[in-house]
Amino acid sequence: MATSASLTTPLAVALSPPVQAFSQRAIPINVSIHNGAAVPVTIINWNTPLDPRAAVLGVFEVRDTTTNDAVPLDTIKISRPLPPSSDELVEIPAGQSVETVVNLPSGRLVSGKEYTVQAKGIWHAVWQMARNEVSEAKLEHFEDARRGEFVSNQIRLA
């Protein structure tokens, strides 16, 4: 089972704003996750910016900069089968980053207003080892895995 001890691996989540304005149906948010450790780490992508459904899982918080009110985003809840599939593992080499683009739905954002976006959540399982070292037993029982929170920087959308 993943321990709830604080995560000692320095994983940093960073967002960067889209190049174009958010007048489209989706806003592309560039996400980078950096492993500052001297060893590779492997994470389960569940409910992280690396999850293919991150845009609708509540990973991202959008706020109106004028009122500081949260903008409600449509979200879904997913029941995940256990144990996780090895396809849901992502390795981040030592001292390196993995990057992705998450397309946030822009349906409730009003053109002409300014917003902030931030990613927040929990690393459900982080192993301080390469992906190929996470055995079926480790995956099934979350052996040697750590849990921890992540919070990214805030970016502005205008």
Is 73 domain-assigned? yes
Torsions phi, psi of 55, nearest 5? -60, -25
Q: What's the pLDDT score for residue 8? A: 66
Q: Pairing state of beta strands 41-44 and 146-151?
A: unpaired
Q: What's the pLDDT score for residue 74? A: 84
Beta strand ranges found along 59-138 (DSSP E): 60-64, 89-92, 97-105, 115-127
Q: Which residue matches tokens 């996400």? A: 31
Q: Which residue matches tokens 């390196």? A: 96
User: Tens-digit pLDDT profile for the chain (158 aa)?
Assistant: 333 345 566 899 999 877 665 556 788 999 999 999 999 999 999 999 999 999 999 999 999 999 999 998 888 898 998 899 999 999 999 999 999 999 998 877 888 889 999 999 999 999 999 999 999 999 999 999 999 999 999 999 88
How many domains are there within the chain? 1
8 A C-beta contact, residue 62 and residue 104 = yes
Q: Where are the alpha helices (DSSP H) in the chain?
A: 136-141
Measure the CA–CA gap between 42 and 49, rounded to whole angstroms.
14
Is 1 domain-assigned? no
Q: What's the pLDDT score for residue 143? A: 95
Is 3 domain-assigned? no
Provide the residue range defining the domain that includes 105: 11-157
Is 111 domain-assigned? yes
Is 90 domain-assigned? yes
Is 27 domain-assigned? yes
- The one-letter code for the residue type at 50 is L
